A and B are shown apart, each in its own frame.
Chain A
Amino acid sequence: MFDALSNRLQDVFQSLRGEVRLTPETTERVLREIRVALIEADVNLQVVKAFVDRVRDRASAQDVQASLSPDQQVVKIVRDELLALFGDARGGLSTGGARPKVILMLGLQGSGKTTTTGKLARMLAKQGKFPLVVSTDVRRPAAIEQLTVVAGKAGVRVFDPPGDLDPVSRARGALVEARNTGCDVVIVDTAGRLHIDDELMGELVAIKDVAKPSDLLYVADAMTGQDAIRSAGEFNRQVGVTGVVLSKIDGDSRGGAALSVVSVVGVPIAFVGAGERLEDLDAFHADRFVSRLLGMGDVLSLIEKAEEVVDSSTAASLEEKIRKNTFSLADFRDQLRTIRKMGPLEHIMKLLPGMGQLKELGAQKPDEKQLRRVEAIINSMTPEEREHAEVIDGSRRKRIARGSGTSVEDVNRLLKQYDEMRKMLKMVGQMTGEAVPEAPRKKKKKGPFSLMR
C-alpha cells in the first residue's frame, strides 16, 4: 500500500546517499521534493506546509544525532514528524462501556461501509464476541440484502425486521434484539450520505441518540483527494467521529487523505481495510504504518500474520523434523500452504524490510500460480514418495508430471529445490547441536531455530 509515496520518499532519501553534510541547499532541494511527493499523495496543502516547515526547522537546527549520515538524518526527521502527525492515538475499538457495545458506521456513498461492517463483525466474532449487525440503509436499492449476504459469509447474526423501513426504529429494534438474544456487540450500518445533506445528517443524529454508540467509525476511501478533510470534518462536527476506517488501501493510493484526516480533523485511524476478502481488516498502528511508508518494512505485522495461521504445536513439530533431518516433501507442502494462508504473496513481501527498494520486482513478481503448481506436483505423489523422495525414479517422475499437469522438468526442478533445502536445513539442524549426536560438538552455537523454543 501507498507504494507511490513510499517510492517517492525513498528516491529522495537515495539522492542524499554519499553527501557528507546537510547543507542548506541540499536541505531545500530535499524539502521541495518531499513537498511534491506529499502533494501528489493528496496530503492536504496546509498539512504539507506545516510538515515541510517542521522538517526544515529540525534539519537546520541539526536536531539529530551527528553520528547519522545526511540521508539517515532526513529519514529520521521525516519519520519522527510523521509519527508526530499521527499522535499517540491507538487503533482499534474503545474498551469498556455499556453492554451491548454499539458501533455506528458512517460515511459517504461508496466508501465501503457495508463491506467494513461485515469485516468488523467477522473480526469481533473471531475474538469471541457475539455481534449483531443491522442495516439502516433503506435508500440504496438492495443495500439491506447486501448486508445480509455479507453477514452470512461472516457467520454473524443479522437483524432485519421485514417491512420496517424506518432507520431509527430499525436501530432501536436491533438493540432490543441484542439484549434479548445475548449479543454483546451491535454494529449499525447506515446509508451513505453527503455531509451537506442536512436532512440525512439529521437522521444520523437521530440514530445516534437512540443507539448511543461507544464507537462512531467514519469509513473513508483511501483514494479520496483534498476534499477528505471537509467531509470527515463535517461528519465529526455534526455527528461525532471516534475513529476512522481507511478503506481500499490496496488501491495503490498514496494515502495522503489518511494523514490529512488524522492531523486536521484530529480523529485517529482505527482500522485499515486492504482487500475484498472478509478477513482483510487490520487494526491501525501508526508506527508500523510509517515504517512501511518509509520502506522500512513491517516485521511486526508479518509475525502477527504468521502467528494467526501457525499454531505453536505445528511449529514445534516442524522444528523437531528439522533437527532430525526428516523434513519431507509433505512438510514442504504444509509450509507452502501456511504461507498462502497468510494472504497474497505480494502483500507479505511488502512487509519485509528492504523490499520497497526492489522496484523492478515487476517482472518476477512472486507467482501464486507457481506455488499452486508445486503443490499440485506434490499432491500427485504417493505418500511414500512424499516421505522418501529418493525413491522417485524416471518413470515415477513421468507419472507425477502427467498427474499434476506439469512437465518432467518441473518435477525435476522441484526435487532439486527440495534437495537443496534439505541440505540447508541439515546444516541448520546441526547448528542447534542436537540434530546429529555423533557429530563433533565443538561450538555450541545457537541456531536460528533455538529462538523458537
Chain B
Amino acid sequence: MGLLDRLTRGLARTAERLAQRFDDIVGRADAPGRETAALDVDTVEALEELLLGADVGLGATSRLIEGVTKRPRTGTGLRAALTEEIRDIFAGVTAPPVQPATPPRVVLIVGVNGTGKTTTVGKLANRFRLDGQKTLICAADTFRAAAVDQLQVWATRAGVDIVRANEGSDAAAVVFDALTAAKARGVDTVLIDTAGRLHTRVNLMAELEKIRRITAREVPGAPHEVLLVLDATVGQNGLVQAREFAAAAGVSGVVLTKLDGTAKGGIAVAIAHDLSLPIRFVGVGEGIDDLLPFDAGAYADALFRPSW
C-alpha cells in the first residue's frame, strides 16, 4: 500500500474529534460485564494514541497509562480513573504565588513570540483592579512594532496606569522607571510585559535575566511571580520553552492561552509532570474577562470533551 492511501485512511480518523474517540474507548472498556475486567491491549494503545494526539507528551502519557492500568478496576469507569490521574499530576504542583509582606508585588510576564503576552497582561490588569488592587502596567516590550500602543489600549480598557518608553529603548530602563513610579504611587501590583523572544536566542534570554536583576534590586524579593505564557496549540516544544525560560527568568507559573480553539493544551499536563510548574490561568477568548484561574478538575474533564 502506498503512502498516500495510508494517509488518506489516516485522515478520516484524524478528523474524528478527540472527544468522540475517547467516548468510544470508554464505551468499549466500560461495556456492561467488562467494567471490572483488566484493560486490554487495544484499549491501552488507543488511549496512548489519544493522549499523544492531545500533545500530552511521551513522559506524562506513560505515567497516565501506568496509573490507569495499575488501578483496580472497581467499576467506577475509565473516564473517572483517567481524570483522577490527570488531577493527581496537577495536585502535585500547587505552589501558591508568593505574596510580599509589603507592596508592590511584581509580576513578570515572559514567553516566545505570539503566545498572547500583551493580551494576557491586559486581562490580568483588569482582574487585579477588580480585586481592589492598585495596578500598574510596565510596557517593557520595546522591540515589537506597536507593542506599546497595543498595551496602551489594554491599559485604558482595564482602567489602570501604564509606564511606557519609546520603541527601541532599553527594556530594563523602563522596568526601573515603572518600579520607581510604583513605589512612589503606592501601587499594589506591577505587571511587566516583556518582548516575545525565542528561548534559543541567548542574548535576549540574557536581557530577561537583567530585567530580573533590576527588579530584585529595586523591590526586595521581586519578581514575586514570573508567568510563562504558553499557546495551547504548542507541541512538545512547549516543554523546551518552559525549561529554558525557567532557567533564565525563574518561571513560577504558566498561563495557557487560546484554549478557545480546538487545541486542548495537553502540554500543560506535560509541563506539570516533567517540570513541576503550576498552571495559574487559562485564556479562553479575546474579551477582557476571558481569563480564568486554572482548575485542574475542570481541565481534566474538558480535555476529552468537545469544545463546541
Interface string of A220-257 (1 = CB under 8 A from B): 01011111111101000000000000001011111011
Known: A142-B147, A196-B261. A251 touches B200 (CB 8 A): yes
How far, in Å, is B292 (CB) from chain A's closest CB?
A: 17
CB-defined contacts of A81 to chain B, threshold 8 Å: 3
Interface presence of A176 (CB below 8 A): no
Interface string of B222-246 (1 = CB under 8 A from A): 0000000001111111101100000
Known: A110-B115, A248-B112, A248-B113. A46 touches B13 (CB 8 A): yes
CB-defined contacts of B236 to chain A, threshold 8 Å: 40-42, 225, 254
Of A143-151, A295-303, A351-359, A392-400, which binds chain B? A143-151
Of B68-76, B148-156, B271-279, which binds chain A? B148-156
Interface presence of B38 (CB below 8 A): no
Interface presence of A50 (CB below 8 A): yes
How far, in Å, is B21 (CB) from chain A's closest CB?
A: 11
Interface presence of B54 (CB below 8 A): yes
CA distance A71 to B157 in the complex (A): 60
Interface presence of A39 (CB below 8 A): yes
Interface string of A76-96 (1 = CB under 8 A from B): 000001001100000000000
Of B4-12, B79-87, B293-301, which binds chain A? B4-12
Give the contacting residue for B149; candidates A53, A142, A225, A254; CB below 8 A: A142
CA distance A86 to B233 in the complex (A): 23
A50 and B3 form a contact (CB under 8 A) = yes
CA distance A194 to B232 in the complex (A): 12
Residue of A nearest to B197 (CB): A276
Interface of B is mostly: loop
CA distance A233 to B286 in the complex (A): 23
Interface presence of B144 (CB below 8 A): yes
Give the contacting residue for A146; candidates B145, B200, B235; CB below 8 A: B145
Residue of B nearest to A229 (CB): B14
B198 and A248 form a contact (CB under 8 A) = yes
How far, in Å, is B47 (CB) from chain A's closest CB?
A: 13
Interface presence of A6 (CB below 8 A): no
CA distance A112 to B145 in the complex (A): 13
Interface presence of B114 (CB below 8 A): yes
Most buried by A among B57, B149, B260, B266: B149
Scan residues 320-363 of chain A and give those whose CB is less than 8 A from a CB of chain B: none
B262 and A223 form a contact (CB under 8 A) = no
CA distance A195 to B258 in the complex (A): 12
Give the contacting residue for B10; candidates A40, A49, A54, A84; CB below 8 A: A49
Interface presence of A263 (CB below 8 A): yes
How far, in Å, is B167 (CB) from chain A's closest CB?
A: 8
Give the contacting residue for A252; candidates B146, B235, B240; CB below 8 A: B240
A225 and B267 form a contact (CB under 8 A) = yes
B261 and A231 form a contact (CB under 8 A) = yes
CA distance A275 to B149 in the complex (A): 23
A45 and B49 form a contact (CB under 8 A) = yes
A264 and B11 form a contact (CB under 8 A) = yes
B154 and A263 form a contact (CB under 8 A) = no
CB-defined contacts of B15 to chain A, threshold 8 Å: 233
Interface presence of A111 (CB below 8 A): yes
Interface presence of A163 (CB below 8 A): no
Interface presence of B116 (CB below 8 A): yes
CB-defined contacts of A252 to chain B, threshold 8 Å: 198-200, 237, 240
Interface presence of A23 (CB below 8 A): no
CA distance A248 to B258 in the complex (A): 18
CB-defined contacts of B234 to chain A, threshold 8 Å: 221, 223-225
Known: A40-B58, A145-B146, A263-B7. A254 touches B237 (CB 8 A): yes
Interface presence of A293 (CB below 8 A): no
Residue of B nearest to A368 (CB): B203
CA distance A226 to B167 in the complex (A): 36
Residue of B nearest to A150 (CB): B145
Known: A39-B52, A264-B14. A195 touches B261 (CB 8 A): yes
A226 and B144 form a contact (CB under 8 A) = no
Interface presence of A442 (CB below 8 A): no
CB-defined contacts of B267 to chain A, threshold 8 Å: 225
CB-defined contacts of A45 to chain B, threshold 8 Å: 14, 49, 52-53
Residue of A nearest to B239 (CB): A40
Interface presence of B65 (CB below 8 A): no
A44 and B14 form a contact (CB under 8 A) = yes
CA distance A44 to B232 in the complex (A): 16
CB-defined contacts of A248 to chain B, threshold 8 Å: 112-114, 198
Interface presence of A32 (CB below 8 A): no
Interface presence of B263 (CB below 8 A): yes
CB-defined contacts of A221 to chain B, threshold 8 Å: 114, 231, 233-234
Most buried by B among A108, A141, A142, A225: A225
| Chain B contacts to A: CB under 8 angstroms | 3, 6-7, 10-11, 13-15, 49, 52-55, 57-58, 112-116, 143-147, 149-150, 152-154, 167, 198-201, 231-238, 240-241, 258, 260-264, 266-267, 286, 307-308
Q: List 4 extra interface pairs beyond A195-B262, A248-B198, CB under 8 A.
A: A46-B10, A223-B238, A250-B200, A252-B237
The 14 listed contacts between A and B (C-beta, < 8 Å) are A39-B58, A45-B53, A49-B6, A81-B3, A109-B116, A110-B231, A141-B153, A153-B145, A221-B234, A225-B263, A226-B53, A251-B198, A251-B237, A264-B11
